[in-house]
Amino acid sequence: MKKVLGILVIAAFCAVIVPLGHAKPEYAKKEGKKCVDCHVKGNPKELNDMGKYYKEHNHSLEGYKEAKKSS
């Protein structure tokens, strides 16, 4: 009985968590970028400017101009 309950808890957890993951390795591969190019380092759920552009422009970086970094 404990095994069945454990399996049900894991299944429920996966059913909730899996759809929350929007970052996909195929996006990085398609664009030739690394995950950290669009996601804030240390917080993969947060998008930087490039990631926000990508999300808002139908998963395309076409037309994106990276802001110049001040030195």
pLDDT, tens digit, for every residue of 22-36?
A: 557 888 888 999 888
- pLDDT score, position 63: 93
The candidate with the shortest Cα–Cα distance to 28, out of 17, 18, 36, is 36
Can you give 3-62 as a three-state secondary structure string? HHHHHHHHHHHHHHHHHHCCCCHHHHHHHCCCHHHCEECCEEEEECHHHHHHHHCCCCCC
- Per the structure, how many domains does the chain have? 1
- Mean pLDDT for 59-71 is 80
- Asked if the structure places residue 36 within a domain, the reply is yes
Domain span holding position 55: 22-65
In a domain, 16, yes or no: no
The CA distance from 47 to 23, in Å, is 10
Range scoring the smallest mean pLDDT among 49-53, 55-59, 66-70 = 66-70
pLDDT at residue 15, rounded to an integer: 64
Which DSSP symbol is given to 65? -
